Amino acid sequence: MNNKEFITKLAKKSGISTADAAAAVEKFIGVITARLKENEQLNISGFGVLEAKMRKERLSVNPKTGQRFLIPPKIVASFRPSNKLKDKFK
C-alpha cells in the first residue's frame, strides 16, 4: 500500500474528504518527525513505540574491491511494536 492508497482508505473509513485525510497524515508525520528530532519517544498505545536511536560507527568492506571503510555513527528511527499488535499476527 502506498501513501495515496492509504489516504484514500483512511478517508473512506473515517468519512472525510481525501484532502482532509492527506492533511491529517501530513500533520501526523510532522509530529512524529519533530518528536524524533528532539530525541523523544512516541508511544502509541496498542500500536508501539517510535524512537530515535544512535547507530554506532562500524567497519564495512566493499565486496568488489575488498577495501575497508568506516561508516560513521548516525541517528536512525526505530519501531518497537506493542504486545497487542504482535498478538494480532500470531
Class of domain 41-90: few secondary structures
Angle between helices 3-14 and 18-37 (to 10 degrees): 120
- pLDDT, one tens digit per residue, over 27-86 is 999 999 999 999 889 999 999 999 999 999 999 999 999 999 999 999 999 999 999 999
**pLDDT value of residue 90:** 79
What secondary structure letter does DSSP report for 53? E
For the chain, what are the domain ranges?
1-38, 41-90
Cell digits of residue 15: 468519512
Torsion of CA 19, 20, 25, 30, to 10 degrees: 100
CA-nearest of 20, 17, 16, 22 to 4 is 22
- Bridge partners (DSSP) listed for residue 75: 54
Q: Which residue has the cell 564495512?
A: 60
